[in-house]
Chain A
Amino acid sequence: MISSFGYSLKQGFKNIGRNMLFSLASIATIAACIFLFCLFYAIVGNVRHSTMAAETTVGITVFFDQGLDETQIQAMGQEIGAREGVDSIRYISPEEAWESFQVEYFGEMKELAAGFAEDNPLANSASYEIFLTDISRQESFVADLNSMKGVRKVNYSHSAVAALENLDRIVSLLSAGIIGVLLAVAVFLISNTISVAAAFRKQENQIMRLIGATNWMIRAPFLVEGIVIGLIGAALPLAGIFVLYQRAVEYIEEHYAIMTGIFSPMSIDVMFPSMVAVALSLGVGIGFFASFFTIRKHLKV
């Protein structure tokens, strides 16, 4: 068993060496395909990261009908807080609302608001600020709140979340399309490489078959060849992406610090492990399946 494995491994590497140009072309195509995949993976990852960040910063504000006292409003708040999908809920009293309004609108000229000292203009503006666990459920949650008796108004930011979700969808579709085309090219090239290797080894395969080698034993060197091409084709762009991504994050943080409130890139430590796993599986998978199906055609001795 170990002897067969060693033999197949050695012959697989020999195949690559024999068809160096074809092997390099296949490696280059897989590398291009996986490089683009990693690029889109990073973009989609960051868009999702921003969407998740928005989920924690974009909240819903609920105002209540005039005439409801604080006890009734707090009872409604408890009812809302108990609903499914609520991450956190915070009561904002009329006094607190007026305080923050003064800071926001009058800034350092607080004396302009002095005339309202005894008469809070936001006396009927007690509210609850709600954050959801999943922002995609925001629309249905707001509709539920609007149908509650005693709710006067519900404020929420629709556009920010919708824009992020749209961007996520567009980038995902675009990347799937481009990667699909590149995958097809990669499979075609590996298939060609394996066909050339099979032609080189035709006599050897005939002898193997007549000697009593199993189909798996005949296929194994070609599978090794496909897997190694896929593995190298995935490892090269991963190394490139690692360096590029780190540089890009440093550049954004240095030159676009102002954006970091809206968009903060994912750290490479968080993104890279899953990217490595997916890209290597993709490379090995393409190599394995392309060689497996190609060599089936050439096994009829």
Chain B
Amino acid sequence: MIEIIDVSKNYETGTKALKNINLTIKDGEFVFIVGRSGSGKSTLMKLLLKELEPTSGCIIVNNMDLGRMPRRHVPKYRRTLGVVFQDFRLLKDRSVFENVAFAQRVIGVPSRRIRESVPAMLRMVGLSSKYKSNPQQLSGGQQQRVAIARALINRPEVLLADEPTGNLDSYNTVEIMKLLEKINRRGTTVIVVTHSHEMVEMMGKRVITMDKGMIIGDTAAEEEWYD
């Protein structure tokens, strides 16, 4: 469970990126965070990744209070999250297999286990036949699948996707969304940051709308209100 309690974030430049945000995301939920540029979506993601510290308030992820977490525990915390970016951030000098294996190598997973887990993960994202290819030989949709495989290979509890379809055509957008839904059905909490209303409407999931650093809409809260 993710609890964001009264969180504000002011940058040194004076920009107030988040203003007293309160939000709860339950285990296994699929949530969209939507809003225009500068609404605070990316700041929220960075706070969840502990790349930034809130100016005030408290963030609790799976019973861990991020504000009280010692620096040495941050790498271990981040292993419970998977991250996907709009620009894929794949290593161009390595094959698809090595890009996915990379996430395991850097945390010391034995090679024998990597040889078993990577092909299974590539099967899951539908890229078994491309394991030898270089990222540049793949389409945008395929590159994003590799990035998703890399984010999931260490079995994170939460998947954070920052504009995962921002660089994709409509066909690939639908395919990636189907894949994220499949991952969510397996029990992983999925949080997708986007400004694509079409995609959000198509999926019919919980939508949190942000504007000027505040939450101005939450479909879960609205449903509760109607109930």
Binding site for B on A (CB under 8 A): 1-4, 6-7, 203-204, 206-215, 217, 301
Contact = CB atoms under 8 A, between A and B. Distances in A.
B77 A212 contact: yes
Interface string B100-130: 0011011111110010000000000000000
Contact of B109 (A3, A203, A204, A301): A3
Given A3-B114, A211-B78, A211-B83, 6 more contacts: A207-B89, A210-B83, A211-B150, A211-B154, A212-B78, A212-B106
A42 to B, nearest CB: 45
Interface in B72-108: 75-79, 81, 83, 89, 91, 102-103, 105-108
A4 B108 contact: yes
Nearest to A2: B110
Contacts of A2: 110
B40 to A, nearest CB: 20
23 contacts: A3-B110, A3-B111, A3-B114, A4-B107, A7-B105, A203-B91, A204-B91, A207-B89, A209-B78, A210-B49, A210-B78, A210-B83, A211-B78, A211-B79, A211-B102, A211-B103, A211-B154, A212-B75, A212-B76, A213-B106, A217-B106, A217-B107, A217-B108
B12 interface: no
B51 interface: yes
Given A211-B154, A212-B78, A301-B51, A203 B89 contact: yes
A301 to B, nearest CB: 7
A4 B79 contact: no
Contacts, number: 56
Interface of B: 49, 51, 75-79, 81, 83, 89, 91, 102-103, 105-111, 114, 150, 154
Nearest to B151: A211
A214 B105 contact: no
Contact of A211 (B51, B106, B111, B114): B106
A3 B103 CA distance: 13
A122 B79 CA distance: 94
B154 A212 contact: yes
B76 A4 contact: no
Nearest to B103: A211
B106 A7 contact: yes
Contact of A207 (B77, B81, B102): B102
Given A203-B89, A301-B51, A1 B108 contact: yes
A203 B85 CA distance: 12
B158 to A, nearest CB: 13
A203 B78 CA distance: 17
Contacts of B76: 212
Across the A-B interface, give the 8 residue pairs with the lowest CB-CB distance, nearest first: A212-B79, A212-B78, A213-B106, A4-B108, A212-B75, A7-B105, A214-B75, A211-B103
A217 B105 CA distance: 10
A211 B104 CA distance: 9
Given A213-B75, A214-B75, A301-B51, A4 B105 contact: yes
